[in-house]
Structure 1
Amino acid sequence: MLVDPGQLRLLALIEEYGSLTAAAHALRLTPAAVTQQLARAERAWQVPLVRRGPRGATLTEAGALLAAHGRTVHTAAEQAAADMQVLLGHLSLRLRVGAFQAAALHLVPPALTALRHRHPDADVSVVDLISGRGLGEITAGRLDLAVVASWGPSPALPPHVRRHPLLHDPMVVVLPDDHPLAVATPPGRPLRLKQLSGEAWVGIVAGHAAREQLDRAAGEEGFTPRVRFETESFDIAQALVGAGSGVALVSRLALTGIPGTTHRGLLRPPLHREIQALTQADTTLTPLVEVFLGLLRDVARERTATWDEQPPGG
């Protein structure tokens, strides 16, 4: 037969307290509910389990046998409750964040500072993350929030993951500060990609979404970019531009202002990437995720306002 652990636990408590009313109080049930549960147990086992008397309740031999197992059930239930309380307390303070480099440098730190002021006891960890790995880290439960960049249509997400838009990040052209186009184009005035058709390029490595964006946009403007140097890093690309190795297409968030370089916006085509946060769809157990999301949105809005006030190259 299928044994009901709740019945075993009830018998253990009746034995411990010597009263159905006291056992009901321990289980946070009404005496009537306990009486009904005991009646079901005696029907199921087809033997009397409890003797009721003026001085309380005692167990029959069959009831005492089941109560011995019920003590194990009760101990396990108490331990489960204690363990769950510890876990929920830990999860309520836990925040595991992953972010790609530019976001880890410019978006995450201000949000973390604000979080520390609000929740000084927060248990926060941050890891450097390639955008393409963000979804996998969230799906596997290794991160609570991942800040990722997307250069094209966002892929469909599984039902248990949510996407949160944060920032529209324009792409800008980084040039040596003595480049003829930089000299001839006042700061704040954008360039057309076609004006750079004859330039040597410092490009992101082939196969990366940022490189695909450059190649596609250049093709639409009627040329193939002559890429002389390839790198996986916008920082390295800007350093190479500063060394006079060519021009580069860099996200505005990733601009470092390396000496010897300047930048201009793009009038046509207006390229950009989208910066998003990925989280589990249900963040009930990790409430700091929603708090941190709000802080990231605040930082992103401040960044956008600054860009609006200061055009690229201005």
Structure 2
Amino acid sequence: MMVEPGQLRLLALIERHGSLTAAAHVLQLTPAAVTQQVAKAERGWQVPLVVRGPRGATLTAAGALLASYGRTVEDALESAEEELAALLGHLSRRLRIGTFQAAALHLLPPALTTLRHRYPDADVSVVDVVSGTGADEIAAGPLDVAIVASWGTPLAPSPHVRAHPLLVDPMVVVLPDDHPLAAARPADAEIRLEELRDESWVSILAGHAAREQFHDAARTAGFTPSVRFETESYDVAQALVGTGIAVALVSRLALSHAPGTTHRELARPRPHRQLYAVTKNDAGLTPLADLLIDLLRDVARDITATWDAPSGGARPAPEPQLGA
């Protein structure tokens, strides 16, 4: 015999409230539907379970026995509802973020400041992630939002992951401030990559997508770069350029204006990277993730507006409006 927990619960409700009509009200069913369910249970158990009378309904001995188990079902259901509500309440305030260095320094802080003003009780955590692994960590479950980058080609996440475009981050050339090209050109002049064919380079480590993009761009410009120094950090690359021993391609967002350096825009076509916020497709349990993405887009618009401002008249990025 197949035991249906719903039948046990129904008998417990009839016992508690003393009528089929009252049990029907609790279950949000019609009395006729409850009557049909009782008849089905009696056929299944092959024994009378409910005695109907002018003053309501009582249970037979068999019905009372089954109702005792129905009370267990009722208690379990109430506990499940309470614990689920607590879990959803926690998830609605929780936000676990993964990001790489440049985004953590320049993109995330204004967005988090606004979020904390709107939701002071938000449970926010931030961890460093390698950009290339952020989407995988979203799919695996540890993170709610990851800020990642794709060099030159659109991000192609797994079917369980959704990518939200944030900004296009162009590469610029960072030069020692006494470099002949820096001295001979105004600050708003563009440099063609082939003009740097004879330079020593600081580059991102081999095997990284940024390194592959750099070599592809150099190949298109007609030369093979002489990479003298390798690093995983744009900050380190710029510090080395400041010593005067090399030049580097650095993302516009990651410019640190290290002492002894200057930068120039590259002539088109410019290498670039695309920044994304990545979430699960079913991100509804963490509503703060959607808010963070909107705030990140606001910050991204402010940042790119400063990049597009005329040389010498660049305005500082305005802070996002704080919510009530």
**TM-score of the two chains, using structure 1 as the length reference:** 0.96
Aligned position for 1:151 = 151
- Looking at structure 2, the residues matched to 125 and 36 of structure 1 have their Cα atoms a distance apart, in angstroms, of 53
SS of match in other structure, 2:159:
coil
Q: C-alpha deviations, 1:92-141, integer Å up to 9, x for none?
A: 11111111110111111111111112222211111111111111111011
Note the C-alpha offset of 1:310: 4.3
SS of match in other structure, 2:284:
coil
Q: Report if aligned partners of 2:172, 2:251 keep a CA contact under 8 Å in 1.
A: yes
Aligned position for 2:69 = 69
How many pairs were matched up? 314
Are 2:92 and 1:92 equivalent residues in the alignment?
yes
**TM-score of the two chains, using structure 2 as the length reference:** 0.93
Note the C-alpha offset of 1:27: 2.6
Q: For structure 2, list consecutive stretches of 5 or more residues without a partner in the other structure.
A: 315-324
Are 2:304 and 1:304 equivalent residues in the alignment?
yes
SS of match in other structure, 1:237:
helix
Note the C-alpha offset of 1:287: 1.2
Q: For structure 1, list consecutive stretches of 5 or more residues without a partner in the other structure.
A: none
Q: C-alpha deviations, 1:263-312, integer Å up to 9, x for none?
A: 00100441111111111112221111111111111111111111100459
Note the C-alpha offset of 1:18: 2.1
SS of match in other structure, 2:223:
coil
Q: Report if aligned partners of 1:240, 1:246 keep a CA contact under 8 Å in 2.
A: yes
Aligned position for 2:318 = none
Q: Report if aligned partners of 2:152, 2:271 keep a CA contact under 8 Å in 1.
A: no
Aligned position for 2:49 = 49
Aligned position for 2:31 = 31
Are 2:214 and 1:201 equivalent residues in the alignment?
no
CA RMSD of aligned residues (A): 1.6
Q: Report if aligned partners of 2:18, 2:56 keep a CA contact under 8 Å in 1.
A: yes
Note the C-alpha offset of 1:186: 0.7
- Looking at structure 1, the residues matched to 87 and 195 of structure 2 have their Cα atoms a distance apart, in angstroms, of 59
Aligned position for 2:173 = 173
Are 2:138 and 1:138 equivalent residues in the alignment?
yes
- Looking at structure 1, the residues matched to 30 and 114 of structure 2 have their Cα atoms a distance apart, in angstroms, of 48
- Looking at structure 2, the residues matched to 211 and 309 of structure 1 have their Cα atoms a distance apart, in angstroms, of 29
Q: Report if aligned partners of 1:204, 1:210 keep a CA contact under 8 Å in 2.
A: yes
Structure 1, 163-172 or 282-291: larger mean CA deviation: 282-291
Aligned position for 1:6 = 6
* AA matched with 1:71: R
- Identity %, equivalent residues: 68
Note the C-alpha offset of 1:46: 1.9
SS of match in other structure, 1:284:
helix
Note the C-alpha offset of 1:26: 2.7
